[in-house]
Amino acid sequence: MEHLGFISILPPLIVIVLAIRTKHVLFSLFVGVFFGTLVLANWNPVSALGNLIKDYIYVQAAEDSNAQSLTNFFIIGGFVTFIEATGGASAFANKITKYVKSQKTAETATFIGGLIIWFSDSANALICGPIFRPLTDSFKTSREKLAYILDSTSTLDAAMIPIISWGVYIMGLIQKELDKFPEIQMTSWDIFVKAVPFQFYSILSLFMIGFVCITQFDFGPMLKAQLRAKKTGNLLRQGAVPLSGETVIIQHEGVEPQAKTVVIPLLVMVVTTFAVFIANGFPKVSLPGIIIRQGIALGFILGALVCTIICVTQKIMTLKECEESIFTGMKNMMSLIVLMIFSWALGSVCTTMGTAYYIIEATEGFLNPEFLPVIIFIIGTVMSFASGSSWGTFAVMMPIAFPMAVTMGSPLLVTVASIIGGGLVGDHFSPVSDTNILASMAAGCDHMDHFRTQMPYALVAAGVGAVLYLISGFYQNPFIVVPGIVALYIVIYMLHKNSMRKLNKIESVEELNL
């Protein structure tokens, strides 16, 4: 357990503090990595910069598993943007609207539509928003409630699916840590999938959304917004400045978007991916990382190829437009790819300096390994709230918490899930979160109104989730989420009743304005 003492924790600490202060995760990662290389270079800044590039950036980008993950990012990014541009997802979601008869069914349909558009967090809000907004407007659902539904479904389900960019990104971070511990007889796929039942925040929040849509048991500022919309017809607060956004769809004159341009490619993608897995022994044997990444890449490539054939033969898009959409999607992935390389570099620096070992040695007298998941969950929540980045939180916390869990004997699957959960909580209600802004745009809602109304909902789910992480540190059974859901429903009901008592005292409809 060799380490450099207290100084070994400074690189990740610098990253966390800077991310909270500046809200720029990439800049914070660079400074943290540079500081680590500066220490390792005996405080020679010239050598530190050279080593940063040679020993960390180049090495991490060129490593086999990392290079494969980066390639998959380009492929997935191109595919997602491509099928957005066809308009197929919009056409598919639009078919749901014929079955809507009331406000609760309108909100529930929006929730279901968000679950169906699972392949991209940004695509989710920007596709479902323009489709369902006229529907929810007609039933006097406040724009704040619509933004909450869009925001919640855009990331919570995405973080539990291993075959999209979220899963690929997280598994890439996990794989990097697995390479340090060859004694662990699990793949990154195994750990990600087996950790899904312990993603308590995502599971609780998804149940919460469905519950408040069906029962209309809203509370706090959200209930006030809902009553305002119902009693006054004002879907927005007086003086609100709504953001607006719409999906850019390539549509030629006389050609309507078709649902099959998204349904068929997605089916091809899923079938191809799992065909590769099954051909290599899944689920009876653990698949090596290269097979997992190969199956994902092949699935998305064939899905894009099938989508191209449909678009060209049906005159939905020209071949050139198909290519341009794919390349645009690939370009959009560059910032995430750079972020991932620097996160790998931070992990490598921390390994060289013995960061995890120092923390373990310094805390072994009072840090119970069973408390690690809830501690990581809380730290991740604070960091992602300040930075507005769940992916940045994953990038910083995975290289720190994963080695700690392995070395301390903490429950690994629960710890990995707590990293993911903590990143999602802050991202869910942070005012600087990109998914928050996208949801406000898609719903046509004032962004700060969205933040104020959604925050209490996220905190309630996070509070129950923290209790579950505390319990699961001692008792690793995913079924504890069931009493957690029951407890969540009781809390929601009590908050709803309490909010109703307060709002019933309001005599003037003007007082309903947030």
3-state secondary structure labels for all residues of 58-106 = HHHHHCHHHHHHHHHHHHHHHHHHHHHHHCHHHHHHHHHHHHCCCHHHH
Q: Which pLDDT belongs to residue 245? A: 42
Residue with tokens 């957690």: 484
Q: How confident is the model at residue 25 (pLDDT cuts 50, 70, 90)?
A: confident
How far is Cα 330 from Cα 316, in angstroms, rounded to an integer? 21
Burial of 236 (0-12, 13-18, 19+ CB in 10 A): buried
3-class DSSP assignment, residue 463: helix
Banded pLDDT at 511 (limits 50, 70, 90):
low
- pLDDT higher than 80, residue 60: yes
Q: Phi first, then psi: give them for residue 242, nearest 5 degrees.
A: -75, 145
User: pLDDT band at 491, cuts 50/70/90?
Assistant: very high
Rg of the Cα trace of the chain?
23
**What is the percent of the chain with per-residue pLDDT over 90, rounded to a whole number?**
35
Least confident of 14-18, 33-37, 296-300, 373-377: 14-18
Sign of the dihedral through C-alpha 487, 488, 490, 491: positive
Q: Distance (Å, rounded) from C-alpha 14 to C-alpha 6?
A: 13
Q: What is the pLDDT of residue 288?
A: 73
Residue 366: the pLDDT is: 62
Whether the pLDDT of residue 287 is over 90: the answer is no
Contacts of 227 (CB under 8 A, 6+ apart): 503, 512
Q: Please give the Cα distance from 63 to 192 (Å, whole number).
A: 21
The torsion angles phi and psi of 446, rounded to 5 degrees, stand at -65, 130
Q: What is the predicted pLDDT for the residue at 457?
A: 95
Give the range among 94-98, 108-112, 269-273 with minimum mean pLDDT. Answer: 94-98
Distance CA 244, CA 263 (A): 27
Cβ atoms of residues 296 and 163 within 8 Å: yes
pLDDT tens, position by position, 154-174: 888 888 888 777 888 899 899
- CA-CA distance, 428 to 264, in Å (whole number)? 31
Nearest to 301 by CA among 78, 27, 491: 78
Q: For residue 479, what pLDDT is reported?
A: 93
pLDDT > 50? residue 329: yes
Compute the mean pLDDT over every residue in the chain, rounded to the nearest whole number.
85
Collapsed DSSP state (helix, strand, coil) of residue 142: coil
d(CA 35, CA 43): 9
Residue whose pair of structure tokens reads 């279901």 in the numeric block: 112
Q: What is the mean pLDDT of residues 339-356?
A: 84
Its sign, for the CA torsion 347, 352, 355, 360, is positive
Tokens of 226: 């809902």
Neighbours of 410 (CB within 10 A): 22
What pLDDT is attached to residue 237? 87
448-484 pLDDT per residue, tens: 888 889 999 999 999 999 999 999 999 889 999 999 9
- At 123, the pLDDT band (50, 70, 90 cuts) reads low
Residue type present at position 498: N
DSSP-assigned beta bridge partners for residue 242: 446
Q: Is residue 236 predicted with pLDDT exceeding 70?
A: yes
Closest CA to 352 of 111, 41, 27, 128: 41
Segment 360-385 shows an average pLDDT of 81
- SS3 breakdown of the chain: % helix, strand, coil, rounded to 5? 80, 0, 20
Which neighbouring-strand residues pair with 446? 242
Q: What one-letter code names the amino acid at 99?
A: Y
pLDDT band at 365 (very low <50, low <70, confident <90, very high): low
Comparing 418 with 2, the larger pLDDT belongs to 418
431/78: higher pLDDT: 78
pLDDT, residue 246, reads: 44
> What residues have CB less than 8 Å from 214, skipping those under 6 apart?
104, 108
CA 496/CA 219 separation, integer angstroms:
5
| pLDDT score, position 385 | 82
pLDDT of residue 364: 61
Is the predicted pLDDT of residue 401 greater than 50, yes or no?
A: yes
Query: What is the pLDDT averaged over residues 214-221?
Result: 93
Which pLDDT belongs to residue 222? 94
pLDDT surpasses 90 at 351: no
Residue 201 pLDDT exceeds 60: yes
**Please, which pLDDT band fits residue 247 given cuts at 50, 70 and 90?**
very low
Q: 129 pLDDT exceeds 80?
A: no
Neighbours of 299 (CB within 10 A): 26
